[in-house]
Structure 1
Amino acid sequence: MVNLFGPPNEFEQVLRVDKFDMHDGSYITNDIAVITMATPAKLNKNVKVAVLAEKDSNYVRENCTISGWGRTNVEVFNQTNSLQKAMTSIVSTEECMQRWTRLNTVLSEGTVLCVLDET
């Protein structure tokens, strides 16, 4: 687990952020950072190459591993400072919108990945 405000980790590598598009907090769509490493990344158990999906790929009902600092519960608004990781399955944007409507959250097709924990 990586804590944004915790002590350094043994697998940290030096990097420079060239561009980071911040949102104003009301819309969290398409946050992205272009990260340039000071030296080539040293691949290990904690650092791996990310394989991006092809455009128009459909992974609904597929199992996946997710990670991030986002919300983990519709009842709790605050996000965590620690990087979270979970195994889960992907649901359609339509199903996601039905589940999140009570929070008045706007979800746009193609801008979110929605997952479901059936436990």
Structure 2
Amino acid sequence: DPDAAVLDARSRGRFEGTEPEPRAGLRGGHMPGAVSLPFGRLLDEGRMLPPDELRAAFAGAAGGRERLYFSCGSGVTACVLALGAELAGYRGTAVYDGSWSEWGLPSPDRPVATGPERD
């Protein structure tokens, strides 16, 4: 869907496949087309950024797309992105609760990209 963005809350190293996954048996990398937005970028000293700063972070990561889907390692930190998006005014977002613990399992049905995201 060209109007949607998949934002990945994991660290940049896990996203790019340069850091090992903490769960045995998972491949390194990310879903093709996903964009890295580590959840910590939405926080300042453990608190959510103001709504205008959140909106700017999402707009930059999502390239202006308004339909947002969130992923992480196991569906937990993706919820930080979902909360931030809600506070920023996005509606109709979704969390992929299987996240990387599901997608990253070896399977020909779930392709994996490594390195930085591509436009």
Same fold judged by TM-score > 0.5?
Answer: no
If the length of structure 1 is used for normalisation, what is the TM-score? 0.23
Higher CA-based Rg: 1
If the length of structure 2 is used for normalisation, what is the TM-score? 0.23
Q: Which has the higher contact order (CA 8 A, sep 6+)?
A: 2
Compare the two structures and name the one with the higher strand fraction. Answer: 1
Compare the two structures and name the one with the higher helix fraction. Answer: 2
